[in-house]
Chains A and B, each alone.
Chain A
Amino acid sequence: MAVAYELRCRDCGKRFANEPLSSCGECFSPLEVVYDMDAAKRTFTREAITAGPSSMWRYQSLLPVPQDYVAPTPAGWTPLLEAPRLAKRIGAKNLFLKNDAVCLPTLSFKDRVVSVALANAKIFGFDTVGCSSTGNLANAVAAQAARMGFKTYILVPADLEPAKILNTQVYGATLVRIEGNYDHVNRLSSQIAERYNWGFVNVNLRPYYAEGSKTVGYEIAEQLGWKLPDNVVVPMAGGSLITKIRKAFNELIELGLVAEKQVRFFGAQATGCSPIAKAVKAGTDQIEPQRPNTIARSLAIGNPADGPYAVRAIQQSGGWAEDVSDVEIVSAIQELAETEGIFTETAGGVTTAVTARLYAHGRISPDELTVSCITGNGLKTTDALKGRYELERAIRPRMADFEEFVAQHEVRGVAVEDLVVGGEHVR
Chain B
Amino acid sequence: MSVRVLLPNAFQKHTNGAKEIESKAANLPQLIEEIEVSFPALKQHLRDSDGQVRRFINFYVNDEDIRFLGNEKYSFKDGDEVLVIPSIAGGCSPHGHPRFAVLAARHTRFAPCKCCSYCGREDCLCDS
Contact = CB atoms under 8 A, between A and B. Distances in A.
A12 B126 CA distance: 10
Q: Main SS of chain A's interface residues? A: mixed
A279 interface: no
Interface stretch (A24-32, A147-155, A404-412): A24-32
A269 to B, nearest CB: 18
Contacts of B15: none
B85 interface: yes
A194 interface: yes
A5 B107 contact: yes
Contacts of B103: 18, 66, 123-124
Contacts, number: 177
A11 B118 CA distance: 11
Given A206-B88, A247-B120, A20 B93 contact: yes
Contact of B93 (A19, A26, A27, A191): A19
Nearest to B106: A66
A187 B83 contact: yes
Nearest to B57: A28
For chain B, what secondary structure do more than half of its interface residues adopt (helix, strand, loop), or is it mixed?
Answer: loop
A97 B61 CA distance: 43
A247 B117 contact: yes
B91 interface: yes
B26 to A, nearest CB: 23
B83 to A, nearest CB: 7
Contact of B91 (A20, A251, A313): A20
Interface string A404-424: 000000000000000000000
B48 interface: yes
23 contacts: A6-B107, A11-B127, A17-B104, A19-B100, A20-B92, A21-B91, A22-B88, A23-B10, A23-B56, A23-B88, A28-B45, A28-B56, A29-B54, A32-B118, A36-B113, A38-B111, A123-B100, A124-B103, A125-B94, A193-B92, A194-B92, A254-B120, A289-B67
Interface of B: 8-10, 13, 45, 48, 54-58, 60, 63, 65, 67-68, 83, 85-95, 97-100, 103-104, 106-107, 109-113, 115, 117-121, 125-127
